[in-house]
Amino acid sequence: MAELGFLFITLPCLAIAAFTGFAACRAQRHRAFKVLAAALLTAGLTCALVPIGIIVWFLTL
């Protein structure tokens, strides 16, 4: 049960934090922030889509 709590509570919170960091880094002018924004977007999408993928996987069992 602790694993499900991690997946369905912690990962969406990390996704929100990553999307917030993405927006903050994207607003900067330096190229290093643009690269960091791309990494944060990738991390945010991963954290947001993993719980959805698990739900879909459970529904197909």
Chain segment 26-61, per-residue pLDDT in tens: 999 999 999 999 999 999 999 999 999 999 999 998
Q: What is the dihedral of CA 41, 43, 21, 35, to 10 degrees?
A: -60
Task: Indicate the residue type of 23.
Answer: A
Range of the structural domain that residue 11 is part of = 2-60
pTM for the model: 0.84
Using 50, 70 and 90 to split pLDDT, how confident is the model at 3?
confident
Does 1 score more than 80 pLDDT?
Answer: no
How many domains is the chain partitioned into structurally? 1
Cβ neighbors of 19 (< 8 A, separation 6 or more) are: 40, 41, 44, 48
More confident residue, 59 or 4: 59
Query: Using a CB cutoff of 8 Å and minimum separation of 24, what contacts does 52-56 make?
Result: 54/7
